[in-house]
Amino acid sequence: MIAARDIVIIGVLAAGAVATWYLARSHQEEAAEAASVDAGQRGYYLKAARILGTGPDGTLLYEIEAEHAEQQAEDDIAFTNVRVIYSPQSDVPWVVNADSAVIRRDAQRVLLRGHVMAISEVDGNDTEIRTQYLELDPENYLAETNERVQIRIGARSLTATGMLASLRDNRVELKSNVSGKFAP
């Protein structure tokens, strides 16, 4: 025979099992709902991305190539292993490479970070600009930084803090702390 005490113990255990099942189920529903919200907020993700920048008349001005591109919060786009190439029609002989970049939804600039290198070859003369951070306005052909920058033109080299470059005009304005090395 089952004693009253055993019935009470079985009843308490059954109630505990039902309560545990109910709590676990409601927690799984909350986790699934949170995961679906996070997935909806993450946006898109691209491998081997290629973004085309066009002028007001629709002509190709530049291309942004990246190993990965991902839409971030507030519609920013983050890129890794980035390369910015101007179209032959734009007559801008510069190629810009960086470890990463961000394009903000509300800005016209590409914010490049990590081993940023801009390279140009005009009339057999290589020009190379290196820095850790560069803001590129590709539609206006401008590159600017307030960080340390190193510029190499053939065997000559300059370092400075800060720079504004007009890529279309091949003109560079150094801001401060300029020092250089010129070999004959």
pLDDT tens string 5-16: 767 777 777 777
Are residues 127 and 61 part of one domain? Answer: yes
- Domain range enclosing 112: 45-181
Give pLDDT, residue 112.
96
Q: Which two tokens stand for residue 95?
A: 């190629």
86 and 175 in a single domain? The answer is yes
140-184 pLDDT tens trace:
999 999 999 999 988 888 999 999 999 988 888 988 888 887 666
CATH number of 95's domain: 2.60.450.10
Look at 36 and 108; give whichever has higher pLDDT. Answer: 108
Residue 41's pLDDT is what?
54
Residue, of 175 and 133, whose pLDDT is higher: 133
Q: Distance between CA 54 and CA 70 in Å, rounded? A: 21
Reported confidence tier of residue 130, pLDDT bands at 50, 70, 90: very high
Q: What's the pLDDT at 37?
A: 47
Please tell me whether residues 74 and 11 are part of one structural domain.
no
From CA 151, how far away is CA 11, in angstroms rounded? Answer: 81
Q: Of 129, 131, 66, 63, which Cα lies nearest the Cα of 101?
A: 66
Tens digit of each residue's pLDDT (9 = 90 or more) over 71-104: 887 778 899 999 999 988 888 889 999 999 999 8
Answer for the pair 121, 103: CB distance below 8 angstroms, yes or no: no
Both 38 and 50 in one domain: the answer is: no
24 and 81 belong to one structural domain: no
Predicted confidence (pLDDT) per residue in 16-57, tens digit: 777 777 777 766 666 655 555 454 455 778 899 998 888 888
Gap between the Cα atoms of 96 and 153, Å rounded? 16
Are residues 25 and 57 located together in one domain of the fold? no
Same domain, 17 and 63: no
Same domain, 121 and 67: yes
- Are 51 and 142 in a shared domain? yes
Which of the listed residues 11, 27, 42 is the one where a domain comes to its end? 42
Domain count, the chain: 2
Asked if 131 and 106 sit in the same domain, the reply is yes
Residues 30 and 75 in one domain: no
Check if the beta carbon of residue 131 is closer than 8 Å to that of residue 148.
yes
Residue 30 and residue 54 in one domain: no
Name the more confident of 10 and 135.
135
